Amino acid sequence: MKQLFSGLVATLLMATGTYAQTGSLDELSARQVQRRAVEAVIWGMPIVNYDLMLQEMLTKTPGRVNQVIYWGKPLDWKNQTLTPNPDTLYLMAFLNTKDVGPIAIEIPPAGPGGSLNANIVNAWQQPLEDAGLLGVDKGAGVKLLMLPPGYGGQVLTGFEPLQPNTFGSYVLFRSNMKSHGDADVANSITYGKQIKIYPISQASNPPATVFTDVKDILFDSTIRYDDSFFCNLDRAVQSEPWLTRDRAMIDQLRSIGIEKGKAFAPDAKMKQALADGIREAQALTAARYDAGLPPFFEGTHWTYPAHPDLLKAAADNFDDPTAYPVDWRGITYTYAYVGIKRLGAGQFYLINIKDKDGQSYDGAATYRLQVPPNVPVEQYWSLTAYDRDTHALIKNVDRASRASNNADVKKNADGSVDLYLGPKPPAGQEANWIPTDPARKFEMMFRLYGPKKELFDKAWKLPDVERVATTVGGATK
């Protein structure tokens, strides 16, 4: 036994020595930098995702922090955020308490004039609260107070405090529409402008909230898989406090040139390692996403919007000391943004990246989804197509979705709805058609606003999407 043990030790030492000789210290260090760059991308994805949206606002629009930007019409492809909803009106607020202290967010009560679905997150897009018709206030309206990290002061009576543990935070307000008609869109905008945001120090005489319409601006916050990613990440590290759970990343980031209080100035060798790292991280997250999330409806390709491990961790404020699903969080924020505290209360999402036969969606082909009757929702349902590579709305198409709150959509005699996706509408199906780009792949999301119990009991089931034969010039394709 002693000889066997000695032999194993000798083998290990030889193996270690052999490996050490496969590269110089500089070569081994370069490999380490690349690997740490990969991990930095996966770990930092949600805050870089947030910073990309913030920078688009600051550089492309007149909007500013602690104000509200909004899209004064249902979203079109000029909104290049990740998997947005073109069947509601979007209002966004980027908040920062560093200089002004606690910030008030007043959500108006729902009523005949309109309603909101709102989600509030910190700079890491960790969900803090949901508000509006199906949020914490159940449509009664609520006054929330965003507190700076470490705040120990009093909270004014009538306000519900939120402690984001970052200076920056973000609110996505969705002002619900009865239809896509001009009058209903105008009413939805008017209702959304009842939101109030102001420093609590001015609560006795709040200034008017500034609203900026950005509907005609190309707003592109898709993930950049180049060295600019690390510039975004460095900006976040410089501006936000370290969270205790993330302190293990301090030394990791220092080794790739990102350190709080110091300028990020990578040399040529470091830039090459970072470029290799971001490309590897892109390939890795894309491959894992393509492998698929857990199915929501068994036997179909309709999946959960994110891995259940991440959904649970986010709902629990990432407080479980035995779980921190960074890998799934990184993948999720390559194709989506914002976080929802109570997913399934106000809204639920189903993702689909493969057809009934398990094939990726080809923008040059035609597909059909039959939505069964009696969709279990209190508000509306919708189907949206996105570019498979960017996860944003498909560029240069007239519309991206069909929804139950669109009066043009035709129903079958039994109440079901046939929806078609492809470069051209099948004959007589223009009203139920979602256009695709024949040169690009696509994916889709099915939204359910105000989902009912039948959805989660699986008493109602969405079938797979089928590729259908089309006739072009007398030939069947």
Report the SS3 class of residue 152: coil
Residue 404 is encoded by which pair of tokens? 């139950």
CA 407, 410, 411, 416 dihedral sign is negative
Reported confidence tier of residue 119, pLDDT bands at 50, 70, 90: very high
Q: Read off the pLDDT of residues 127-183 as tens digits, 9 standing for 90 and up.
A: 999 999 999 999 999 999 999 999 989 999 999 999 999 999 999 999 999 999 999
Measure the N-to-C terminal CA separation of the chain; round to a whole number of Å. 70
Half-sphere exposure (Cβ direction) of 237: Cα atoms closer than 13 Å: 27
Distance CA 205, CA 144 (A): 17
Q: What pTM, to 2 d.p., does this model score?
A: 0.92
pLDDT score at 243:
96
CA 104, 109, 112, 116 dihedral sign is positive
Q: Read off the pLDDT of residues 229-278 as tens digits, 9 standing for 90 and up.
A: 999 999 999 999 999 999 999 999 999 999 999 999 999 999 999 999 99
Residue 21 has pLDDT above 80, yes or no: no
Residue 44 has pLDDT above 80, yes or no: yes
Mean pLDDT of 289-318: 96
pLDDT score at 470:
65
CA geometry: angle 256, 127, 336, nearest 5 deg: 65
Residue 74 is encoded by which pair of tokens? 């249902």
Q: Read off the pLDDT of residues 335-387 as tens digits, 9 standing for 90 and up.
A: 999 999 999 999 999 999 999 999 999 999 999 999 999 999 999 999 999 99
Reported confidence tier of residue 473, pLDDT bands at 50, 70, 90: very low
Find the radius of gyration of the CA atoms of the chain. 24
Distance CA 394, CA 422 (A): 12
Distance CA 177, CA 89 (A): 7
Mean pLDDT of 39-58: 98
Mean pLDDT of 442-450: 97
Backbone angles phi, psi at 433, to 5 degrees: -110, 135
Domains observed in the chain: 25-52+223-289 (1.10.3360.10), 62-216 (2.60.40.1610), 293-476 (2.60.120.600)
Q: How far is CA 248 from CA 33, 149, 242, 259, 458, in A?
A: 16, 20, 10, 13, 41
Report the SS3 class of residue 22: coil
